[in-house]
Amino acid sequence: MVAVIVQIAFLGKRIRNGESTRIQAFQENGTEADSISDSVVGDSQETEPTATSTPELTETPTPEPTPEVQSVSSEYLHSAHAILIRAEDGAVMMDKAASEQAYPASITKVMTAILAIENLTDLDEQLTVPEDMFPELTEQGASVAGFDPYEQVSVRSLLYGVLLPSGADACITLADQIAGSEEGFVQMMNDKAAELGMANTHFVNCTGLHDSQHYTTCEDLAVLMRYCLENDTFRTIITSRSYTTEATSAHPSGITMYDSMFTKFDNSGISTTVSNGLTVEGGKTGFTDEAGQCLASFGSLNGSEYILVTMGAPAQLASEIMSVQDAETVYSRIQG
């Protein structure tokens, strides 16, 4: 039996492609009494006695025990919104306002990355970094991977640039190549969200830069992460701590990129192997003034994988560690 001792209420529902379905509550003894439907033999009229066969008993399967959660105060989390699911079946193990809309910041780039992976199958294809995006990205203070205007870069390097350093320059380069414009790509993002059942999600850009109409929920992002982790290319990239791009004329030694989530763990002094032995395998950070700190991550314990999404930690700086503190708090309380 898997148990989570965390100070949030247990919902006992299952997320599958955006659809939440209730799971039967786990009773104290972990099982339910077997039940047999009454059988009707003959009709209501009196007849001569006849031999009757014993009704065949159909065994009722014992429900699989669902995770337990001790419901205590949610004050232990900085984040305003959070959800923890078991990846194998989508069972919701913890929920804190997970269906309420919030700003995802750079977790948006998870959708950008998976669409690029699905639409650009040749990872060695060379793309040209457009020049016209840089003034606006600079003005908005967007994080970038470090590519130069007109630089020729592989799709692979751009994907690492999206997920590791959270590069808006990489996002827009990929979006332009796939859809001809960021606007066209955003339509693809919203179409994909609808396909996955992310009913409370609406994208306005491919970078996560703030817009009041750019929103999602922790519940929807958990659906997205679960979908993305089925893709080997996505999983390889998001579990990487660093990556060096191929040499180009602009960068003869390539660009060495470091993953923002792992960097945050390292800088905080919090280990990615938490007290119960769970290992945080990868994730995507996010931060804007309006969104606060956000994190979509996943970890493994005893052969099971868990996905945690948190949004709305009231940090004032991207460098603050509230999101990884929340990850440690939740992950360390999984018992299995």
* 152-183: pLDDT as tens digits: 999 999 999 999 999 999 999 999 999 999 99
Q: Tell me which long-range contacts 9-13 makes (C-beta under 8 A, separation of at least 24).
A: 9/69, 9/71, 9/74, 9/95, 9/96, 10/67, 10/68, 10/69, 10/71, 10/92, 10/93, 10/94, 10/95, 11/92, 11/95, 12/66, 12/92, 13/91, 13/92
DSSP summary character for residue 272: S
Residue type, 87: A
Dihedral sign, Cα of residue 160, residue 166, residue 169, residue 173? positive
**Strand blocks (E) in the chain:** 3-4, 13-16, 19-22, 68-69, 81-86, 92-96, 126-128, 152-154, 242-244, 256-258, 279-288, 292-301, 304-313, 334-335
Query: Cβ–Cβ contacts within 10 Å for residue 130, how many?
Result: 15
The reported pLDDT for the residue numbered 74 is: 65
> By CB neighbour count within 10 A (0-12 exposed, 13-18 middle, 19+ buried), where does 57 fall?
exposed
Under a CB-based contact definition with an 8 Å cutoff, are residues 127 and 155 in contact? Answer: yes
pLDDT tens-place string over residues 98-132: 999 999 999 999 999 999 999 999 999 999 999 99
Residue 322 in tokens:
């509230």
pLDDT score at 259 = 99
Identify the active-site residue in 20, 79, 96, 109: 109
For residues 117 and 128, give the distance between their C-alpha atoms in angstroms, rounded to a whole number. 17
Is 73 in the active site? no
Topology of domain 68-80+98-302+311-335, CATH: Beta-lactamase (3.40.710)
**Can you list the positions of beta strands (E) in 58-204?**
68-69, 81-86, 92-96, 126-128, 152-154
SS3 102: strand
- In three-state form (DSSP H/G/I as H, E/B as E, the rest C), the secondary structure along 217-228 is CHHHHHHHHHHH
Q: Which entry of 20, 79, 96, 106 is annotated as an active-site residue?
A: 106
**Catalytic annotation present for 166:** yes
CB count within 10 Å of CB 122 equals 9
pLDDT of residue 126: 98
| Alpha carbon distance 174, 145 (integer Å) | 13
CA 253 to CA 300: how far, in whole Å? 35
Closest CA to 109 of 284, 322, 295: 284
According to the annotation, is 13 in a ligand binding site? no
Q: How far apart are CA 159 and CA 167, in angstroms?
A: 9
Amino acid 193 reads: A
Q: Is the pTM of this model over 0.85?
A: no
10 Å CB burial of residue 154 (0-12, 13-18, 19+) is middle
Q: Which H or E element spans position 236?
A: helix 232-238
- B/e letters for 267-296, b = 16+ CB within 10 Å, e = fewer, are ebeeebebeeebebbbbbbbbbeebbbbbb
> Tokens 């492609």 appear where?
17
Cβ neighbors of 160 (< 8 A, separation 6 or more) are: 145, 237, 240, 243, 245, 257
Active site residue 109: yes
166, 260, 297, 323: the active-site residue = 166
> Three-state SS across 185-198?
HHHHHHHHHHHCCC
What residues in the chain have per-residue pLDDT under 70? 1-74
Quote the pLDDT of residue 14. Answer: 61
